Structure 1
Amino acid sequence: MFPLYILGALLALMVLQLIPLPPSVWTALPERQIFANIADIAAIEQPWRPLTLSPSKTLNSLFALAVPIAAMMLYLNLDREYRRRAVPVLIILCSISALWAIFQAIGPARGPLYLYRITNFGSGVGLFANRNHQAVMLASTIVMLGWYAGSLKPHVRQAVLKFYASVATILVFVPLIFITGSRAGLLLMMPALVLALCLIYFGGYYPGKTARKRRPSSSKFSLPSGRRLMLVIGIITISGMAIASVLLSRSLAFDRLFSGGDVEELRWQLLPTLVTMLKDYMPWGSGFGSFEHVYKIYETPELLRPSYLNQAHNDWLQFFIEGGVPALLIAICAIVWFCVRLGTVAKTWRSSNPVKYGVLMCLAAILFLLAASIGDYPLRVPIIMAIFAVLVCVFNDGINSVQRRDSNQP
């Protein structure tokens, strides 16, 4: 499968960045002269050095790729029946993190339920250390829940219970994102809710579908259908819960959306520095994982803060800063593959129902995580890397199913 080749290319690039190079080659690389001057001042013979400016961090990034690769390999070794259960398993995993966040929210601000020494204390971060990662994952899960509720088959055991459980979980996630305090999660929650409601409305299942249809009444006034009624109730309920969260002053994300902060100000001030680093380390990059150390070379007095900056908070720029042109080529290949596969569904949109809704769900969840990477680094978190890898596999399987259905049609 092509996504596995993309991960293999990233792995190969990281291995190449760790290979020691002779001094004549290494010192000719961009922005390496400062390290060569240090060795000359210390009267030390120039050693062989790898391309990366932080070998230990690059090695850590290399080992971190084991998570998405393992997730993909495990998924690809499953038969078709078990692959269908992949998304429900992801929903359960994300729901556990949401439940953990609820207990954090009702407990002490620095209680034992926070799993990391450095974290957003007082926020419902769940199994994460960063509230943005938790909120982005919840927003992506809302789309998964909408698809799951609409894709149930009428003959499935306890279908009605599973449907209402999915809808109820969405209603729990909405106020939870509000009180998490993540603006990224709040911004992504809006389109996630719209897509979830559309997937439920246009999905193949809704309660009462198997009931005997009544004859149309001769009266001009008739009750709305089950789907329309659910859509109206869902919109009213979600809107009411969001308004209640704001009015009850529990919406930290809503407050942060319209108020600036030191971290947000730093992100805007950091952008010119990131662009400068991108230009300086082209075409070979500084080495994956090296940003934390390399940034200190560029850190100006205006950018100094009591806290340190371990990531660029713009994963797209950081990816190219660390990987250079090779990383850019790998990203272009992934985007081209993604667009070509998506074009398959677009050509057969009318004939690919209901498989197309699963593809649409994966597309939305993947794009949410990629969009969140503009202002943060969710795809550097192991759990989200695994979720992303599985979603890409489900997306690819959905495309293959669409192709099979299209080829079988006369």
Structure 2
Amino acid sequence: MVLGGGGSPSPKAEIIVQLGFVAALGAWLWWAPKHGFAQLNDIPKPLIWLGAALLALPLIQLVPLPPAIWQALPGRDLQQASLGLVGAQDSWRPLSISPPRTLAALLALVPAVALMWAAASLPSRDRRFVILAIAAVAVAGAALGALQLAGGDGAFQLYELSHRGWLTAFHANRNAAVDVLLIGSLALSACFAGKSMPGPVARRRIPILLAGQGVLLLAAILTGSRMGILLILPVLAINAMILKSVGMGKMLDIALRAAAVLVAAMLALPWLLSGNARLAEVASRFDVAGDARILLWRDTVAAIEAFFPVGSGIGTFPVAFGPYESFESLSPASINRAHNDYLEFLLEAGLLAPVLIALGACALFAAGRKAWRECPWDRAPQIFALGTLAVIALHSFVDYPLRNMAIACLAGVAAGLLSATRQSPEARREAESE
């Protein structure tokens, strides 16, 4: 969550995360079963198959093909003409039009898949600790964001290529920052609800919860991310579900009232925020008349049609999109993402994209349904996991959260937390004593 926020323009920190997780995954698979800890048998089969499918896709796209096959694939005319300039048009080439980018995408997938499998093998108590760590890092990111805004002119921002003048926390992109802050809000509620407390103790901790939520949600607004701000409403509703799952009706009422106030405030945004320069700037971002995403999506669809049904290769969007970029969407800044993860995935994976999305949805549904039925003591982590995946899935319609390594890893954790687990002895004794 700290090193994985730079994105492709700032890959050095991400390379540390990728290589570290490759080593960690190999060591875990070798060491843990020998010492009686996590084993692959402890992981639900649907999640094993889902992880294997995600890793297999870029691997398949890297397999060299004879010239008669790859030249016949759709969208390869420009590649064939370029190779012809150096006399390499008859060489063996993989399905991916840019093998280095696809290899980089494969390395980026390893941490997310590894975390999904590792989180699925954790006992209930350790899952709560992971959620606590997520909440703590999110709050730390909000604190860093306050320093960024107070310092101005790129102060305390971790990456040279970043959204200047906005709260970005540990990220280069404000849209990624807002997702982590919203997921941190869910994690904070799950931490509060994850352990049963006597009524008086819970009431004393309510101000702490409300203060933490206020910090995270205000920081989310100050990112200036339009979709992120709109996602505050469903996040408040999911927070209410988390707290309701442990019988905290009072907190549910507070969350619903806060949601109503927020809706009213957003409806009156142009008038309420006119006296504050920073918040007025946030409000001005909701004028979407000149949003370039519409043209970008249209050009992406043209590229999808050119490469369909095999796709151009995972991670190859900048290379595949370039020849199909229209004059209307040209700008001084280079376009490296489609700002719609579903369209980008369809371009890169072709017909396999909807198949993998459907496979993932079925696998997560099967694992989550079993956990919900068999593990009522883990309701708060389960709702947190569903909420995390919902935030990422909704934001993916207008951005690319899963292309950010920190958020991809959070998605892996959330997927793993949807699996069933045995109740720990400590939790069983607590439940029996109530």
TM range, normalised to the smaller chain? 0.7 to 0.9
Deviation at 1:365, TM superposition (A): 1.8
Q: Indicate the residue corresponding to 1:196 in structure 2.
A: 239
Equivalent position to 1:98, from 120, 142, 152: 142
Deviation at 1:38, TM superposition (A): 3.4
**Letter of the structure 1 residue corresponding to residue 276 of structure 2:** L
Contact 2:236/2:255 (<8 A) preserved: no
Structure-2 change in CA distance of 1:167 and 1:51 (3 Å): same
Give the Cα–Cα distance (whole angstroms) in 2 for the partners of residues 22 and 5 of structure 1.
29
Q: Indicate the residue corresponding to 2:412 in structure 1.
A: 389
Q: Indicate the residue corresponding to 2:385 in structure 1.
A: 362
The Cα offsets for residues 269-289 of structure 1, whole Å up to 9 and x where unpaired, read as: 122221122222122110011
Give the Cα–Cα distance (whole angstroms) in 2 for the partners of residues 54 and 157 of structure 1.
60
Contact 2:102/2:314 (<8 A) preserved: yes
The Cα offsets for residues 115-172 of structure 1, whole Å up to 9 and x where unpaired, read as: 1111101111000010011112222222332333344411599755654322211111
Q: Indicate the residue corresponding to 2:208 in structure 1.
A: 165
Work out whether 1:372 is the aligned partner of 2:372.
no
Equivalent position to 2:79, from 30, 35, 41: 35
Alignment RMSD: 3.1
Contact 1:178/1:250 (<8 A) preserved: no
Q: Indicate the residue corresponding to 2:35 in structure 1.
A: none
Structure-2 change in CA distance of 1:186 and 1:152 (3 Å): same
> More displaced, 292-301 or 151-160?
151-160
Structure-2 change in CA distance of 1:187 and 1:297 (3 Å): same
Deviation at 1:107, TM superposition (A): 1.0
Equivalent position to 1:329, from 334, 352, 355: 355
Contact 1:178/1:254 (<8 A) preserved: no
Work out whether 1:138 is the aligned partner of 2:181.
yes
Give the Cα–Cα distance (whole angstroms) in 1 for the partners of residues 71 and 199 of structure 2.
65
The Cα offsets for residues 285-324 of structure 1, whole Å up to 9 and x where unpaired, read as: 1001111111111122222101000111111111121011
Say how many residue pairs are matched: 375
TM-score when normalising by structure 2: 0.77
Q: Structure 2: any 5+ residue segments left out of the alignment?
A: 1-43, 429-434
Give the Cα–Cα distance (whole angstroms) in 1 for the partners of residues 377 and 274 of structure 2.
37
Give the Cα–Cα distance (whole angstroms) in 2 for the partners of residues 13 and 57 of structure 1.
13
**Letter of the structure 1 residue corresponding to residue 160 of structure 2:** R
Equivalent position to 1:287, from 289, 309, 313: 313
Equivalent position to 1:339, from 365, 381, 399: 365
Q: Structure 1: any 5+ residue segments left out of the alignment?
A: 207-225, 406-410
Deviation at 1:78, TM superposition (A): 3.6
Contact 2:186/2:384 (<8 A) preserved: yes
Question: Identity of counterpart residues, as a percentage?
Answer: 25
Contact 1:7/1:65 (<8 A) preserved: no
Contact 2:245/2:379 (<8 A) preserved: no
The Cα offsets for residues 349-400 of structure 1, whole Å up to 9 and x where unpaired, read as: xx976644442332122111011111111111111111111111112237x8
* Aligned partner of residue 85 in structure 1, secondary structure: helix
* Aligned partner of residue 274 in structure 1, secondary structure: helix
Structure-2 change in CA distance of 1:17 and 1:248 (3 Å): same
Q: Indicate the residue corresponding to 2:221 in structure 1.
A: 178
* Aligned partner of residue 365 in structure 1, secondary structure: helix
Give the Cα–Cα distance (whole angstroms) in 1 for the partners of residues 70 and 252 of structure 2.
65
Q: Indicate the residue corresponding to 2:190 in structure 1.
A: 147
Contact 1:51/1:287 (<8 A) preserved: yes
Equivalent position to 1:250, from 278, 285, 297: 278
Give the Cα–Cα distance (whole angstroms) in 1 for the partners of residues 178 and 384 of structure 2.
18
Equivalent position to 2:59, from 5, 12, 15: 15
> More displaced, 313-322 or 45-54?
45-54
TM-score when normalising by structure 1: 0.81
**Letter of the structure 2 residue corresponding to residue 359 of structure 1:** Q
Structure-2 change in CA distance of 1:85 and 1:156 (3 Å): farther
Give the Cα–Cα distance (whole angstroms) in 1 for the partners of residues 383 and 226 of structure 2.
24
Equivalent position to 2:157, from 114, 126, 136: 114
Contact 1:174/1:241 (<8 A) preserved: no
Contact 1:136/1:184 (<8 A) preserved: no
Structure-2 change in CA distance of 1:51 and 1:157 (3 Å): farther
